[in-house]
Amino acid sequence: MLTVTKPEVTMMPDVIEESRTIHSLLQSAMRWESGLVLLFVVSLIYGSSVSSYFFNVQTFFFAGLNFGEIAIMALPMTLIIITGEIDLSVGSMLGLSASILGYLFMHGWNIWLAMAICLIVGILGGALNGLLVTTFGLPSIAVTIGTLTLYRGIALIVLGSNTAVGFPASFTKISLPIGNTHIAYDFAIFVVLAIIFGVVLHMTPIGRSIYAIGLQGETAYFSGIRVKRIKFFLYVISGFLCAFAGLLYTFQQASSASDTGMGLELNVVAIALFGGVSIFGGRGTIFGVVLSVAIFASLQSSLTDVNVSAQVQSIVTGCLLLMSVLIPNAREGAGRFRAQLRRRTSGVS
């Protein structure tokens, strides 16, 4: 049997198999994402109908402006949620990084050195999360709620009620588009990072391991995947990018305070989930999250254009998020219902 005796059943021509695979792959991967594409188009049409400025390139690429940090933090969050964990300390980490930058700058530190310190703090903060979740085996939701409070507390001690201002113009200019283009800095950074994360998640052994961990952690471990190490590094990367987002945010606003980024963790999680990432782990794509970012950004920009208040905007956001949880469930429920119906009718006949 070990010699190559191909039986009929498996004699499937490779070409057909290949194209079928692509077909089914597209089918399964695109289902939620195609809904998102549709929604994105709708939001663009809506945006352009309510605001004559909407398709003005400048507004369009500036849509990222209030959104870049959230979008950047959503990338490592996506990977963490796919492994079946969560990181709720992202908003606080951003705030802590911004506060430390402000404090050090006000105390006359070299700006580059101050930035490096912030990034190191981000790495350490992420490592603490990772250590508690992996080595101590604590539930990540509890751990990161703890560090959410902890990091915000440290930020308060560092900067108190002060607001740091007066950052060099060569840094705060990132609130303007890059050079002569109409592209915002954070938008560009997000695109580059999204490509990197997309490649890692969908094409590398690490990405494959991340899915396996989220779907069946024990099997992953039994297959030689270093489950704890991967989770640990994801937290470290999350901490690092949140600290980085904190720097971006500070320079864009040209100021930093200890409450910077308060509550952002919920937006970040919302973006990931709306992008089709399963809160139970094992499912989700970077493409979906990118679409989710685009939809939220364009919606926010058009709703702001027509002077919809922030409160109403958050109601819209909330409804979208609920939809993202309900629709896949409803589809599954409908499938079950159909199957039941089939069984019943076949039983009668």
Partner 1 sequence: MEDEETAVSSGPADLNHVDSPAAVLVVEGATKFFGPVKALVDGSITLYPGEAHALLGENGAGKSTLVKILAGVHDADGGRMTLDGQTVRFSNPIDAREAGVSVIYQEPTLFPDLSVAENIFMGRHPLRSGKRIDRAEMMRRSRDVFERLGVQMSPSRTARGLSVADQQIVEIAKAISFNAKIIIMDEPTAALTEVEVQRLFDVVATLRKEGAAIMFISHRLEEVFAMCQRVTIMRDGAFVRTSAIGDLTIDEVIYSMVGRDIVSLYGDHTRTPGLNVLEVEHLTREGVFTDISFNVRAGEIVGLAGLVGAGRTEVARGIFGIDRVDAGSVRVMGQNLKSGSPLAAMRAGIGFVPEDRRQQGLVMEMAIDRNASLASIHELSRFGLIRKSSERKLASEWAARLQLKFGRFSNPVKTLSGGNQQKVVLAKWLSRKPRLLIIDEPTRGIDIGTKAEVHRLLGELVEQGIAILMISSEMPEVLGVADRILVLHEGHLAGEFSREDADEASIMRAAAGQMKASAS
Applying CB under 8 A, the residues found at the interface with partner 1 are 1-2, 4-7, 9-10, 14, 17-18, 20-21, 24-25, 199, 203-205, 208-209, 211-212, 215-216, 218-226, 282
Give the residue with the Cβ less far from partner 1, 209 or 317. 209
DSSP letter (8 states) at residue 164: E
The set of residues, in sequence order, having a beta carbon less than 8 Å from that of 195 and lying 6+ positions away, is none
Nearest distance in Å: CB 338, partner 1 = 18
- Of 280 and 337, nearer to partner 1 (C-beta) is 280
Is 257 strand, coil or helix? strand
* Cβ-contact 143, 241 below 8 angstroms: no
Residues 123/236, Cβ–Cβ less than 8 Å: yes
Nearer to partner 1, 39 or 227 (CB): 227
Q: How far is the CB of 15 from partner 1 (least distance, A)?
A: 12
CB atoms within 10 A of CB 73: 29
Q: Which is nearer to partner 1, 153 or 217 (CB)?
A: 217
Smallest separation (angstroms) from partner 1 to the CB of 10: 5
DSSP 285: -
Q: Which two tokens stand for residue 327?
A: 């629709």
| 310, burial (CB in 10 Å: exposed 0-12, middle 13-18, buried 19+) | exposed
Give 109 or 233: the residue with its C-beta nearer to partner 1.
Answer: 233
Closest approach, Cβ 187 to partner 1, in A, equals: 27
CB of 267 to partner 1, least distance (A): 29
> Shortest approach of partner 1 to residue 226 CB, angstroms?
6
| CB count in 10 Å sphere of residue 261 | 30
Q: Give the residue ranges of DSSP H helices in 226-285.
A: 227-253, 264-274
Question: Which is closer to partner 1, CB of 4 or CB of 310?
Answer: 4
In 3-state terms, what secondary structure has residue 256?
strand
